[in-house]
Structure 1
Amino acid sequence: MTRAGAPTAAEVRALARRDPALGAALRRLPRFPGFPQGAERPADSHFHALARAVVYQMLSGRAAATIHARVHALTPGSRFATPKQMLAIEQDQLRAAGLSRAKAAALHDLAERSLDGRLPLRSIARRPDDDVVAAIAEVRGIGPWTAQMFLIFRLGRLDVMPSTDLGVQEGLRRLDGLAERPTPRELAARAEIWAPLRSVASWVLWRLADEAPAEV
């Protein structure tokens, strides 16, 4: 299991020394905020964090937030549905809230696995990264990328490299001045020098990808 939380200042300096290009970006960007980072509306639980990821897949932020709010309102109280409550919601109700048939089925599968122990959310923070990814990726409609985002932003793991993420690929293209985005394999190989802080490097690459391209 990789460490979670915030790296020490000495660790970040060592990362910058190992990769001068990344180090220059670290010095120019805002200070690394540490992991995990809360969303605009922090998830109530690990289950909620994964359910929210399902709702938000392939939707604009505004549309996803509207549907998420409708799903949230299907159960009483201020907190998002528990796995047991989610299973009590009919799929037709989830569809009426705006979810696709596949996403409604995914939320029920997530809830079932959370309840029967196939997805051990109560102990998942103590499990190695590979075990977490394997367990989450078994859920219908959830793949390795979502599991990696859960590792970074929910569990605060410091050494995760989401090499299939287009934003991370674009960030490396800009960092290294490449003509094309690297492939996932090329990105993973390039990222070896960033261990054991590959999540921190990913954060830098996301920030670089978000920057507007320079005018010519």
Structure 2
Amino acid sequence: MTNSWLKIKNHMCTNDNMMPKLIKKYGKPSILNTNNVNLFEVLVNSIVSQQLSTKSANSIKNRLYKLLNTNEINYQSIAKANVVDMKSCGLSQIKSNTIKNISSIINDNPTFLTEFKEKPKSDVINELTKIKGIGIWTAQMFLMSGLKNLDIFAPNDSGLMKGIRIVYFNNVKPKQANVEEITSKWIPFRTIGSWYMWQVANNN
């Protein structure tokens, strides 16, 4: 990640007059952490989170960690788990099957996910969405949290849109064109803008 926090902060504050107070309140985005990322775990967490509130998704994740008896989910631990037990954690049949399928894919090709680091985001989305159970939103979350792509915007994310509604539109549902006008100011750091919208949504 070559962009410094100072550069990102200056861009966001210069282009969006709502950002200074958001940055002051919520600080530096955790998504900018440079710790090593377990790409498989990020993808699993994104699948778990599909169409769920943050609270519900976290509850399921915690039960899944307990089931696997691990602090870090990897494809080997998923390979040993059975779908019935995974469903007992709150996962649907489809999500359980998808996670098991990805575990098998990585077992056969250990570099499947790391290869995405060298590919444009459009290719990552196209390839991931070929896997049953993975849609565009899941691929976008993987790009943000796993590959640390700083210019992703997921318009179908309910939490993200809630934050935008609160910050910019007095909690009134905006038109798509108005949303695009706001988020275009964040380019090339739409992931960062999205992170702040999630903080707002989670605290309101």
Q: For this structure pair, what is the TM-score category when the shorter chain's length is used for normalisation?
A: 0.7 to 0.9
2:31 alignment partner, one of 31, 35, 38: 35
Q: Give the stretch that moved more between structures: 147-156 or 50-59.
A: 50-59
Report the structure number with the largest CA radius of gyration: 1
CA distance in 1, matches of 2:37, 2:116: 16
1:195-206 matched pairs, under 5 angstroms: 195-206=187-198
1:16-27 matched pairs, under 5 angstroms: 16-26=13-23
Q: Tell me, yes or no, if the aligned pair for 1:158 and 1:199 is still in contact at 8 Å.
A: yes
Give 1:145 shift. Answer: 1.6
Identity, % of aligned pairs? 20
TM-score by length of 2: 0.77
1:144/1:178 CA distance change after superposition, 3 Å:
same
SS in 1 for 2:114: coil
Structure 1 position 132 matched with structure 2 position 124 = yes
RMSD of aligned alpha carbons: 3.3
1:96-111 matched pairs, under 5 angstroms: 99-111=91-103
Q: Tell me, yes or no, if the aligned pair for 1:163 and 1:185 is still in contact at 8 Å.
A: no
1:188/1:139 CA distance change after superposition, 3 Å:
farther
Give 1:198 shift. Answer: 0.8
Structure 1 position 72 matched with structure 2 position 68 = yes
CA distance in 1, matches of 2:74, 2:141: 21
Give 1:33 shift. Answer: 3.2
CA distance in 1, matches of 2:17, 2:38: 38
2:10 alignment partner, one of 7, 10, 13: 13
Question: Can you give the 5+ residue segments of structure 1 that lack an aligned partner in the other structure?
Answer: none
1:91 alignment partner, one of 83, 88, 93: 83
The residue aligned with 2:200 is: 208
Q: Tell me, yes or no, if the aligned pair for 2:166 and 2:172 is still in contact at 8 Å.
A: no
1:178/1:197 CA distance change after superposition, 3 Å:
same
Q: Tell me, yes or no, if the aligned pair for 1:55 and 1:68 is still in contact at 8 Å.
A: no
SS in 1 for 2:9: helix
SS in 2 for 1:29: helix
1:51/1:178 CA distance change after superposition, 3 Å:
same
1:179-190 matched pairs, under 5 angstroms: 180-182=172-174, 186-190=178-182
1:103/1:61 CA distance change after superposition, 3 Å:
closer
Question: Can you give the 5+ residue segments of structure 2 that lack an aligned partner in the other structure?
Answer: none
TM-score by length of 1: 0.74
Give 1:35 shift. Answer: 2.5
**AA paired with 2:31?**
F
